Amino acid sequence: MTQTTPTDGAMSVDLLPPDWGERVRALADERDAVILAHNYQLPEIQDIAHHTGDSLGLSRLAAQAEQSTIVFCGVHFMAETAKILSYDKTVLIPDADAGCSLADTVTAEQVRAWKAEYTVDGEPPPVVVSYVNTTAAVKAETDICCTSSNAVDVVASIPEDRTVLFGPDQFLGAHVQRQLNRENMHIWLGECHVHAGINGDDLRRHVEAEPDAELFIHPECGCATSALYLASAGVVPEERTKILSTSGMVDRARRTDAKRVLVATETGMLHPLAKAAPATEFVPVNRAAVCKYMKMITPAKLLRSLRDGVSEVDVPPDVADRARASVERMIAIGTPSPTAE
Ligand code: 13P
Ligand code: SF4
């Protein structure tokens, strides 16, 4: 047995057989399971998964999968979304404590109160748009979900005279508002602790040191605003500044001719980017941007999940039905296809 220490700095030591990868794939076959991994997962998890991609792309793959079991290597809200879209399947997550600091910034009760605050007698009710980084209970209170890659299109699809309540990510909300210049839009002040830690100062330092590098920025980043400002001020050429979802980054990496790319998002992203464009060097804007929740999924936990059928993700049927409607409305508006392999 080899010993591995989880890269998130956890105290526990996992015991892992050297042939763990073969065992994982054999157990997946036995259990009729497909393994899905988010772009921020540990490299060894991404490499052993059947498919990698962004949060929504993976959920859509889950819904289309022929297998009866889905093992979701990502955080809990993503596994819940997979369950909502493929309710008849068994959905497993290798560590049920893999949460999300952004999803934790808003509850279903708070969304109900927010809607009531903006409901005016005799006028149509406000339209709630929620980022997919939310619990199933929040999705059930939502009119239309969105992801980082289609948030602008989703809000643009809402009639001009309707008030929009956008949550929970304030940076993504600010990005959408800037793109659409929409005044009747209110933004929830939530944030992801990882992306909020990538700030404008980090970005400016890197950009000034590397004037030829392309910039990939996730719209959840605190620096997305600075990036657009720097681009409009001519500090970085606008055509080199790309605000992209995680799958959008992989697609762009395949097409870029830049020698160096500055990457402003969680550092797990460096692995799929390097695979997509081996000749390009990808440089993180903040090396400390690590999501400890994503890194809770280790090879040993994946092995145990497949062996013991743990931990099963469940969503009450009435919550799942209402949440599904908001996700399906988003899909009807159109979402980019996943970068799954
Ligand atoms: P994507 O949907 O772009 O993969 O992002 C998910 C996420 O959790 C970002 O932090
Ligand atoms: Fe949540 Fe942030 Fe981790 Fe993404 S990076 S899963 S938004 S805590």
**Residue ranges making up the domain that contains 202:** 194-284
Do 178 and 327 belong together in one domain?
A: yes
Do 108 and 182 belong together in one domain?
A: yes
Do 255 and 302 belong together in one domain?
A: no
Whether 91 is in the pocket of ligand 1, judged by its Cβ within 6 Å, is no
Nearest CA to ligand 2 atom 6: 100
> Is 316 among the domain residues?
no
CATH number for the domain spanning 117: value is 3.40.50.10800
Do 166 and 239 belong together in one domain?
A: no
Angle between helix axes 76-85 and 317-333 (nearest 10 degrees) is 90
- Convert the pLDDT of each residue in 42-75 to its tens digit: 999 999 999 999 987 898 898 899 999 999 999 9
> Is 5 among the domain residues?
no
Do 155 and 199 belong together in one domain?
A: no
pLDDT exceeds cutoff 70 at 233: no
The pTM for the full model equals 0.91
> Is 340 among the domain residues?
no
> Is 262 among the domain residues?
yes
Do 214 and 260 belong together in one domain?
A: yes
> Is 315 among the domain residues?
no
Do 33 and 182 belong together in one domain?
A: no
- Convert the pLDDT of each residue in 17-29 to its tens digit: 999 999 999 999 9
CA of 38 to the centre of ligand 1 (A): 8
Predicted pLDDT at 7: 43
> Is 74 among the domain residues?
yes
Do 90 and 110 belong together in one domain?
A: no
Number of domains in the chain: 3
Do 209 and 237 belong together in one domain?
A: yes
| Own/partner pairs, 267-275, CB within 8 angstroms, 24+ separation | 268/38, 268/39, 268/40, 268/41, 268/42, 268/43, 268/46, 268/294, 268/295, 269/39, 269/40, 271/43, 271/46, 272/39, 272/46, 272/52, 272/246, 272/339, 273/216, 273/249
> Is 44 among the domain residues?
yes
- Convert the pLDDT of each residue in 89-122 to its tens digit: 999 999 999 999 999 999 999 999 999 999 999 9
- Convert the pLDDT of each residue in 116-129 to its tens digit: 999 999 999 999 99
Nearest ligand to the C-alpha of residue 168? 2
CA of 103 to the centre of ligand 2 (A): 8
Do 280 and 248 belong together in one domain?
A: yes
> Is 4 among the domain residues?
no
Ligand 2 site residues, Cβ closer than 6 angstroms: 75, 100-102, 133, 192, 194-195, 266, 291, 293-294
Predicted pLDDT at 3: 41
Do 113 and 149 belong together in one domain?
A: yes
- Mean pLDDT, residues 274-298 taken together: 97
Do 255 and 218 belong together in one domain?
A: yes
Q: Which residues contact 167 (CB under 8 A, 6 or more apart)?
A: 106, 111, 114, 128, 129, 130, 131, 134, 173, 187, 188, 190
